[in-house]
Amino acid sequence: MQGKFIVVEGLEGAGKSSVIQLLLNRVKKAGYKCITTREPGGTPMAEAIRECVKHPWQEHVAQETELMLMYAARRQLLVNTIFPALDNNVWVIGDRHNLSSLAYQGGGRQIDEHIMRTLSEITLKDFTPDLTLYLDVDPQTGLERARGRGELDRIEQAGLAFFERTRARYIELAGNDESIITINAMQPIDQVHQDVMSSLNRFLECQ
Ligand SMILES: Nc1ncnc2c1ncn2[C@@H]1O[C@H](COP(=O)(O)OP(=O)(O)OP(=O)(O)O)[C@@H](O)[C@H]1O
Ligand SMILES: [Mg+2]
């Protein structure tokens, strides 16, 4: 038996972290073993790549460099953590996955679609999540929430226009994929959590 891979996506401050705890508890209550991962990161090497990507370097970081680091971290996580877990019938809940790259690097940084597709193919082959919950928030609201948590990292410091493009690409991709469910994350947190639970319960009923 294979475990299921559920991904939570959205801009900074969308509320992914609390939603992931909610999902983890519900999946465990349904009787499945379940782990959580985050991207970039989730293995010792991938966490080192995360530090590297987020560091406020005193030099220009080429967008291709950032892009390839993200995919390198993703490959490490897949091979060393996600694939072995799923093969052992363990469910995985991911804080971000490929949709983040498609939205941030493809939409936000406007990297060529052909490059995005090629890197996705090398990294993922035909692997896709079973369910993605996209928490939709406008950048101003999201960044205000994230700012409340402390200093912004290098990527969070990108301008509002960057996040507007990222959000637009998220919405576009979610609209074209039945396995991605959009949740209005600008609602009060209790309502967001209620919507998340309904989506997860529907998914669990199909297993
Ligand atoms: N719907 C909501 N309404 C108001 N505040 C919220 C809501 N959802 C989350 N928050 C608060 O916003 C802050 C950021 O949320 P959280 O850390 O879960 O976001 P995130 O999506 O995990 O961000 P990041 O991508 O930076 O990890 C937290 O303090 C959280 O309690
Ligand atoms: Mg988080």
How do residues 58-79 score in pLDDT, each as one tens digit?
Answer: 999 999 999 999 999 999 999 9
Ligand 1 atom having least distance to the Cα of 19? 18
How do residues 144-184 score in pLDDT, each as one tens digit?
Answer: 898 887 777 777 777 889 999 999 999 999 999 999 999 99
> Which residues sit with their C-beta closer than 6 Å to ligand 1?
10, 12-18, 145-146, 148-149, 185, 188-189, 192
Return the best residue to mutate from 18, 135, 194 for the ligand 1 pocket (most ligand atoms within 8 A of CB): 18
- Structure-block tokens of residue 137: 């928030």
The domains of the chain, with CATH numbers, are: 5-205 (3.40.50.300)
pLDDT at position 161 is 92
Instruction: Let me know the angle formed at the C-alpha of 166 by 163 and 168, rounded to the nearest 5 degrees.
Output: 110
- Mean pLDDT of the chain, nearest integer: 95
pLDDT at position 176 is 97
Instruction: Let me know the angle formed at the C-alpha of 175 by 27 and 7, rounded to the nearest 5 degrees.
Output: 25
Examine the pLDDT at 55 and tell me if it is beyond 80: yes
Q: Is the peptide bond before 40 cis (omega within 30 degrees of 0)?
A: yes
Examine the pLDDT at 109 and tell me if it is beyond 90: yes
Ligand 2 centre to CA of 15 (Å) is 7
pLDDT at position 135 is 98
